């Protein structure tokens, strides 16, 4: 039988499917996007929330917002520091708030804010 270079055999296709299913299962088991779950002082923003923050249509004087991807190694490394920062903001007068936008879940919000890499940290109204 003649083999065409680059052609995948049925076994290789099955192996690829199994690997994808394992990765999806690992994310589901881990909760997927859990970098900022239950973090004191961190507000999760959807597209409408991110738009309101960027247009200064909230009751806060300013916002510091992290646009991130849950699979990003740099984001995973930065998340604990941002959680500490957000918790410290709650001790003061709370006029400045911390927000996060998951670009995996809210891709349009990230496009609206010209996010090109992760993490992207932006301040609004500050």
Residues forming the active site: 72-75
Note the pLDDT tens digit of each residue in 3-29: 556 556 677 665 566 565 565 555 444
Question: Mean pLDDT lowest for which of 1-5, 26-30, 107-111?
Answer: 26-30
Q: Encode pLDDT of 40-62 as tens digits.
A: 999 999 999 999 999 999 999 99
- CA pseudo-torsion sign 58, 48, 125, 88: positive
First to last CA, the chain: 68
Q: What is the pLDDT of residue 28?
A: 42
Q: What is the pTM of this model?
A: 0.74
């Amino acid at each position: 039988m003649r083999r065409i270079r680059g052609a995948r055999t049925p076994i290789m296709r099955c192996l690829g499917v199994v690997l994808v299913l394992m990765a999806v299962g690992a994310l589901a088991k881990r909760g997927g996007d859990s970098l900022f779950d239950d973090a004191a002082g961190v507000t999760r923003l959807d597209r409408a929330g991110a738009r309101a923050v960027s247009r200064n249509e909230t009751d806060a004087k300013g916002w510091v917002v992290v646009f991130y991807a849950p699979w990003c190694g740099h984001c995973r490394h930065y998340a604990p520091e941002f959680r500490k920062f957000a918790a410290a903001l709650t001790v003061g007068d709370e006029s400045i708030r911390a927000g996060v936008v998951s670009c995996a879940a809210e891709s349009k919000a990230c496009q609206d804010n010209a996010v090109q890499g992760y993490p992207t940290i932006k301040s609004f109204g500050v």
